[in-house]
Structure 1
């Protein structure tokens, strides 16, 4: 899944889309001293800085390093011989600390500890997927809201309504906020839920 970003100049939304598209639009917009341009990662609601120096190709090359394309977890394995691990699938070695009884159980599983852990994680993700997505959406909306609307009327009450999952109250409290900010917050918080 491709990451999307949204750029705001002051209270006005400039552009939403993939990193390269957003970066090139922002690069071409005339800066205004009274209205900063802020770029947000939609998945997290956090601001991010893009290095816009140089030509378009240079900007896009730096972005490709900063924001690599998504890994297709279902991709067919390559016919090339491979070394240890599965780097093409994004497998990363990290340390896990468990009690001896956990290691014994994992070691007795078909495929060993790594396969068993991946299966357990995938099962947990499926079981709590909707709740996790709702939490991530709420958190993204709150991060964006804190940056762009932290000084607007009803911010504290709107935050409480957002975390209480009281959509009606939340949208009522932010109804008078600047349209682009309000609409983006609602999109981040509720786009996955009808």
Structure 2
């Protein structure tokens, strides 16, 4: 699991929230709950996506904590095997396919293609008025609700209301769901 994708996670044991927070803390709570014995399935979700993740809780508590600890940003960079680019900044190389006229225009820009593309993406993100973040929150709520509440009453109505932007109707449709599932769905979808 790439921890740069999200910073918080939530674990459920059955329909009850077990733990929420940094991955290492959630992993330790999951390990402790597993030691208590079966009382329902334990599922862990990345809050940024609402998707379930797997954790390896084998070993001692110290080993689990170390496995999922966030690396210190102050650690010195490793030079061996390091490729081109700026890994400390999180730069990722990927392929971009453009027409020759696009490459010609990019090549003529100050700073070159990479700088220009980063500026264009940043400008587009600013202009979307937060819609991308809003849509990501709705999608995270959808993924979580599908996994945890897909067989609960009014699930489909709640999803339709979620994407229709009708918060009051979402609250009405999920009112009878288990409290922790209801609360987490609202947190993911509406930042509560």
Would you call these one fold, judging by a TM-score over 0.5?
yes
Moved over 4 A (4+): 68-71
Corresponding residue pairs, total: 180
Moved more, 126-135 or 96-105: 126-135
Aligned twin of 1:75? none
Aligned twin of 2:187? 187
Aligned twin of 2:37? 31
Q: Is the 8 A contact 2:162 2:170 kept in 1?
A: yes
Unaligned runs of 5+ in 2: none
> How has the CA–CA distance of structure 1 residues 57 and 124 changed in structure 2, closer, same or farther, with 3 Å as cutoff?
same
Q: 1:46 Cα deviation (Å)?
A: 0.5
CA RMSD of aligned residues (A): 2.2
Secondary structure of 1:105's counterpart equals helix
Unaligned runs of 5+ in 1: 72-77
1:14 equivalent in alignment to 2:35? no
Aligned twin of 1:61? 66
Alignment of 1:140-179 (within 5 A): 140-179=140-179
Cα deviation code 1:27-68 (max 9, x no counterpart): 111232x5101011100001111100001222123224xxx5
Instruction: Name the TM-score, length of structure 2 as normaliser.
Output: 0.87
Instruction: Name the TM-score, length of structure 1 as normaliser.
Output: 0.86
Secondary structure of 1:126's counterpart equals helix
Q: Is the 8 A contact 2:24 2:66 kept in 1?
A: no
Q: 1:114 Cα deviation (Å)?
A: 0.7
